[in-house]
């Protein structure tokens, strides 16, 4: 490929009122256009007329086919849809070199591809459609009428007309991409909503509590539980390999398979074996499901279960001793005919935690996965809470760190005791009310066995939390609403602070580095230093934020 007129871009030529007029018409037509294809079609007709050319055309790069395709044409033959290999022809040259190409005699230009659809081009002028990311196509005119030749003035005019054309076509392309992105996003939201409907409804004072936080819009994790006619509770938790739409479709299939097979009250091992055989027939090669399934009998406190490649289960007894229970079979959907042994475990007033690997993969502040050790430590810290508060506190804490994967936690609690309401206060987000908040907290703490120093620090932490709501959630406006409730769980004090402000991103609420001495931003550090655990979330029942802070009661005796 040889450029015929390397210096064309530097050509001179006056731009007259006629060009300004057509440029203004073009820009207006493109801005007002509701149909970019029609507008471009009208534009090429006008370009041909104005340039006094026999034909004009707009070509666009097609990144999928890696060629150049004609999108609009005007002249004796319709060349819309004509494809030219990338880099070939005069149009390919204009795009490749990103400059105006002027061919006064096509017979002498080796790049000329010959007559298209019987229409011979004697002379060609072609300007690239340039954008910030390089040319997206070219604007071409053929054969100046009355036997004349295109000149430098024509080259400048075409270059000028290419500007609004490129802008409009590029905007239209970006708009199409945006619409497509929004469509995909909506579909993911619908898929997420559908997935949510597969999860069991939460039940008050139920010994099984589970929560799922997807890493993206849709989850590859699932859980289910349902009460059998004999009073036992069947449960399963699963984690599908991979992420994205294929994983979520497999999740739907695996969870419905598990539910369907669980209705037959098979032994847990036989239950998993049946689902394994079923999934092996349909699962795409390379995908699999890790799952645990079983029954909990609230009458005897015994859990019977079987695990298929699921992360270790953690049993915590009432004395705080923890034991890991490892999987006894391979993941589901890999090898048909596998057997899965069942295990029995007497909870004896303790709890059994089943969690997907998203929980152990959560990154600590030092960016290392917290691992099973981190989970054990977290379970210890929340052990004094009611089952639902425990699951919420664990996931709330994990959300403060970096969630990398779908995260699911199912807890079977044989030790549930209802929480006791100790006191509460609600009022306007006025700093003058802080004194009342401190008074209430001080009065409640008098009833509990905290030492004076801890009492002072707890009052401070709650004051800081309310002050943060006033200052940050409500931006200092004194007419917002703040509610504080104090609950006594069976071994801990739980402070629950709610507001009705716009949702705040939990990721933004982190302690700051204390080594830098500066005013402000200390409140969260004080809360962090005083409380055993705190987390921040948006309660599911509407607008507003919730901060939960937990302090274990001192051991007596």
By CB under 8 A, name the binding residues for another protein. 430-436, 438, 453, 456-457, 459-460, 463-464, 467, 470-471, 514, 517-520, 522-523, 525-526, 529-530
- Identity of the residue, 474 or 535, whose beta carbon is nearer to another protein in the bound complex: 474
- Identity of the residue, 457 or 498, whose beta carbon is nearer to another protein in the bound complex: 457
- Identity of the residue, 6 or 476, whose beta carbon is nearer to another protein in the bound complex: 476
- Identity of the residue, 431 or 475, whose beta carbon is nearer to another protein in the bound complex: 431
CB of 474 to another protein, least distance (A): 12
CB of 517 to another protein, least distance (A): 6
State both tokens at 440. 């209430």
Integer CA distances (angstroms), 470 to 430, 497, 499, 504, 509, in order = 7, 12, 9, 13, 15
CB of 535 to another protein, least distance (A): 20
- Identity of the residue, 310 or 495, whose beta carbon is nearer to another protein in the bound complex: 495
| Helix, strand or coil, per DSSP, at residue 210 | strand
CB of 440 to another protein, least distance (A): 14
CB of 514 to another protein, least distance (A): 5
- Identity of the residue, 245 or 436, whose beta carbon is nearer to another protein in the bound complex: 436
- What is the edge-to-edge ordering of all strands in the sheet holding 101-103? 83-85, 67-74, 53-62, 134-144, 124-131, 101-103
CB of 380 to another protein, least distance (A): 23
CA neighbor of 138 nearest in space, from 124, 150, 154, 149: 124
Give dist(CA 24, CA 399) in Å, integer: 54
Name residues whose C-beta falls within 8 Å of residue 53's C-beta, 6 or more positions apart in sequence: 47, 75, 125, 141, 142, 143, 144, 145
CB of 522 to another protein, least distance (A): 4
Name residues whose C-beta falls within 8 Å of residue 203's C-beta, 6 or more positions apart in sequence: none
188 contacts 180 by C-beta, under 8 angstroms = no
- Identity of the residue, 506 or 511, whose beta carbon is nearer to another protein in the bound complex: 511
Kindly tell me the number of DSSP H helices and DSSP E strands found in the chain: 12, 21
CB of 459 to another protein, least distance (A): 8
User: How many angstroms from the chain centroid is the CA of residue 348?
Assistant: 41
408 contacts 221 by C-beta, under 8 angstroms = yes
DSSP for 177-195, written as a single string: HHHHHHHHHHHHHHHHHHH
CB of 444 to another protein, least distance (A): 17
Integer CA distances (angstroms), 206 to 203, 238, 260, 350, 416, in order = 6, 21, 22, 15, 9
CB of 453 to another protein, least distance (A): 7
Handedness of CA 449, 452, 454, 456 (dihedral sign): positive
- Identity of the residue, 188 or 450, whose beta carbon is nearer to another protein in the bound complex: 450
* Rg (alpha carbons) of the chain, rounded to whole number: 35
CB of 320 to another protein, least distance (A): 28
Q: Which residue has the tokens 């090669």?
A: 285
Give strand pairing partners of 131. 134
CA neighbor of 468 nearest in space, from 531, 546, 401: 546
Integer CA distances (angstroms), 364 to 152, 369, 374, in order = 65, 6, 9
Widest pairwise Cα distance in the chain:
110
CB of 520 to another protein, least distance (A): 5
- Identity of the residue, 33 or 456, whose beta carbon is nearer to another protein in the bound complex: 456
- Identity of the residue, 163 or 460, whose beta carbon is nearer to another protein in the bound complex: 460
- Identity of the residue, 319 or 451, whose beta carbon is nearer to another protein in the bound complex: 451
- Identity of the residue, 212 or 468, whose beta carbon is nearer to another protein in the bound complex: 468
CB of 430 to another protein, least distance (A): 8
- Identity of the residue, 19 or 430, whose beta carbon is nearer to another protein in the bound complex: 430
Give strand pairing partners of 306. 293
Angle subtended by helix axes 371-382 and 387-400, to nearest 10: 130
Q: Which residue has the tokens 């700051």?
A: 512
| Helix, strand or coil, per DSSP, at residue 368 | coil
- Identity of the residue, 436 or 553, whose beta carbon is nearer to another protein in the bound complex: 436
CB of 377 to another protein, least distance (A): 23
Name residues whose C-beta falls within 8 Å of residue 511's C-beta, 6 or more positions apart in sequence: 524, 525, 528
Give dist(CA 400, CA 255) in Å, integer: 29
């Amino acid at each position: 490929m040889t450029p015929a007129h390397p210096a064309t871009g530097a050509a001179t030529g006056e731009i007259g009122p006629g060009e300004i007029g057509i440029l203004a018409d073009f820009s207006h037509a493109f801005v007002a256009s509701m149909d970019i294809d029609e507008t471009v079609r009208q534009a090429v007709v006008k370009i041909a007329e104005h340039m006094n050319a026999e034909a004009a055309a707009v070509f666009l790069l097609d990144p999928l086919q890696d060629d150049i395709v004609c999108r609009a044409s005007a002249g004796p033959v319709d060349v819309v849809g004509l494809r030219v290999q990338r880099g070939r022809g005069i149009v390919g040259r204009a795009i490749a070199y990103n400059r105006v190409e002027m061919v006064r005699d096509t017979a002498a230009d080796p790049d000329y591809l010959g007559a298209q659809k019987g229409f011979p081009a004697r002379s060609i002028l072609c300007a690239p459609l340039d954008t910030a990311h390089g040319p997206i196509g070219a604007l071409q005119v053929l054969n100046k009428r009355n036997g004349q030749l295109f000149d430098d003035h024509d080259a400048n005019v075409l270059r000028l007309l290419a500007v609004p054309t490129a802008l409009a076509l590029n905007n239209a392309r970006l708009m199409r991409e945006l619409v497509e992105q929004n469509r995909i996003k909506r579909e993911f939201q619908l898929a997420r909503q559908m997935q949510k409907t597969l999860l069991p409804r939460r039940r008050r004072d139920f010994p099984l509590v589970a929560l799922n936080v997807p890493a993206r819009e849709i989850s590859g994790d699932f859980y289910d539980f349902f009460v059998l006619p004999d009073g036992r509770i069947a449960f399963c938790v699963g984690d599908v390999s991979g992420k994205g739409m294929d994983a979520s479709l497999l999740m739907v299939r695996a969870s419905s398979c598990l539910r369907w097979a669980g209705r037959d009250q098979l032994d847990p091992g036989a239950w998993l074996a049946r689902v394994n055989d079923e999934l092996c027939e349909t699962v795409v090669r390379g995908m699999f499901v890790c799952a645990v399934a079983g029954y909990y009998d609230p009458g005897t406190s015994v859990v019977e279960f079987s695990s298929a490649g699921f992360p270790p289960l953690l049993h915590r007894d009432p004395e705080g001793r923890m034991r890991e229970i490892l999987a006894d079979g391979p993941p589901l959907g890999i090898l048909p005919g596998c057997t899965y042994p069942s295990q029995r475990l007497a909870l004896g007033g303790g709890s059994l935690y089943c969690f997907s690997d998203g929980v152990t993969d959560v990154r600590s502040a030092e960016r290392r996965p917290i691992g099973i050790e981190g989970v054990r430590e977290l379970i210890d810290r929340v052990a004094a809470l009611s089952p639902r508060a425990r699951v919420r506190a664990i996931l709330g804490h994990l959300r403060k760190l970096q969630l990398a994967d779908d995260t699911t936690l199912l807890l079977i609690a044989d030790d549930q005791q209802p929480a006791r309401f100790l006191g509460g206060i609600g009022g306007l987000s006025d700093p003058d009310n802080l004194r009342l908040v401190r008074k209430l907290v001080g009065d409640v703490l008098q009833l509990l066995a905290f030492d004076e120093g801890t009492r002072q620090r707890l009052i401070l932490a709650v004051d800081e939390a309310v002050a943060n709501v006033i200052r940050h959630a409500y931006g200092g406006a004194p007419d917002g609403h703040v509610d504080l409730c104090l609950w006594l769980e069976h071994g801990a004090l739980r402070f629950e602070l709610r507001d009705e402000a716009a949702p705040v991103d939990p990721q933004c609420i982190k302690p700051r580095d204390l080594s830098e001495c500066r005013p402000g931003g200390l409140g969260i550090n004080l809360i962090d230093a005083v409380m055993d655990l705190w987390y921040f979330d948006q309660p599911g029942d509407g607008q507003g934020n919730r901060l939960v802070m937990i302090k274990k009661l001192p051991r007596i005796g």
